[in-house]
């Protein structure tokens, strides 16, 4: 088979997948398992390449992110923070199998020390100190708020010394707090200065009320802090319009 035949065959296969997907609602595609195909693999490879020894996992939910790192061979320490009580209990159980994974006392991370109320969604990944917009809930029922609960809240700079004492630690600061990212960073200027890397949720179209960080704000902050972009991943999409609501960005100081 010559090159032209292979190109025509690949185009026909791609078109067939489109028709099947449109007719069935299923997207089936086989790809080589590489960093371009897997965000989890890409993160683990980048962390290893940049020599990350400690990951501060803010907004851990039930531990999906940390577990994926360990699945791909990460050997460093992860410190996870999670405020929602039901997710926190699952997080504790998940971390038991990993000797270098430490779950901090249940709390939120923000710009103050004290106590705060968090909105708990049916699917806890959507839980946030901020209220989710009705326009989003209308087409994603699992994101609706089903309760509220009090949680301790701390500035990261106030408590991180309890978990990382090594001054030579190479830190990745991961923030996934459903619209509350600015408040986390407002309480963590010293930790951010120490961080070699930053992984942060970036809203393109905010789905939470009173979200203070927009796309260009985060780009300005990372540029001012001398971080370079290394990876982006589409995280949330409006299924009615196709608009991307949220991306995850990974940045490193070189």
Write the CATH number for 195.
3.40.50.150
Whether 22 is covered by a domain: the verdict is no
80 DSSP β-pair partners: 57, 103
**Distance from C-alpha of 222 to C-alpha of 60, rounded to nearest angstrom:** 22
The pLDDT score that the predictor gives to residue 59 is 98
**Distance from C-alpha of 12 to C-alpha of 6, rounded to nearest angstrom:** 10
Whether 1 is covered by a domain: the verdict is no
Which residue matches tokens 């789905």? 207
- Total count of domains within the chain: 1
Whether 171 is covered by a domain: the verdict is yes
**Distance from C-alpha of 128 to C-alpha of 29, rounded to nearest angstrom:** 34
Whether 37 is covered by a domain: the verdict is yes
Tokens of 3: 């090159």
**pLDDT in single tens digits along all 254 residues of the chain:** 565 555 445 556 666 666 666 677 666 666 677 888 889 999 999 999 999 999 999 999 999 999 999 999 999 999 999 999 999 999 999 999 999 999 999 999 999 999 999 999 999 999 999 999 999 998 899 999 999 999 999 999 999 999 999 999 999 999 999 999 999 999 999 999 999 999 999 999 999 999 999 999 999 999 999 999 999 999 889 888 999 999 999 999 99
Whether 3 is covered by a domain: the verdict is no
Contacts (Cβ under 8 Å, ≥6 apart) of 128: 118, 119, 121, 177, 178, 179, 180, 208
DSSP symbol at 205: S
Is pTM beyond 0.85? Reply is yes
Whether 6 is covered by a domain: the verdict is no
Chain centroid to Cα 219, Å, comes to: 16
Q: Give the Å distances, CA to CA, from 218 to 18, 82, 159, 180, 221.
A: 35, 23, 24, 12, 5
Whether 13 is covered by a domain: the verdict is no
Domain ranges, residue 208: 31-252
Whether 19 is covered by a domain: the verdict is no
């Amino acid at each position: 088979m010559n090159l032209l035949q292979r190109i025509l065959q690949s185009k026909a296969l791609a078109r067939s997948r489109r028709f099947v997907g449109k007719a069935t609602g299923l997207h089936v595609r086989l790809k080589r398992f590489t960093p371009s195909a897997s965000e989890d693999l890409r993160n683990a490879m980048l962390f290893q390449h940049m020599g990350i020894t400690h990951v501060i996992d803010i907004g851990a939910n039930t531990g999906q992110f940390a577990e994926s790192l360990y699945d791909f061979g990460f050997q460093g320490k992860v410190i996870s923070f999670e405020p929602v009580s039901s997710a926190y209990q699952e997080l504790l159980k998940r971390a038991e199998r990993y000797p270098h994974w430490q779950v901090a006392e249940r709390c939120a991370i923000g710009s103050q020390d004290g106590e705060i109320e968090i909105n708990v969604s049916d699917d806890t990944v959507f839980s946030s100190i901020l209220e989710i917009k009705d326009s989003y809930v209308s087409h994603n029922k699992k994101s609706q708020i089903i309760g509220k609960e009090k949680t301790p809240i701390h500035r990261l700079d106030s408590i991180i010394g309890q978990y990382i004492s090594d001054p030579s630690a190479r830190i990745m600061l991961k923030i996934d707090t459903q619209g509350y990212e600015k408040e986390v960073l407002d309480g963590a200027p010293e930790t951010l200065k120490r961080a070699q890397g930053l992984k942060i949720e970036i809203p393109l179209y905010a789905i939470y009320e009173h979200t203070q960080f927009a796309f260009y704000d985060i780009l300005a902050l990372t540029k001012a802090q001398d971080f370079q972009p290394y990876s982006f991943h589409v995280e949330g999409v409006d299924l009615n319009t196709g608009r991307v609501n949220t991306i995850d960005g990974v940045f490193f100081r070189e």
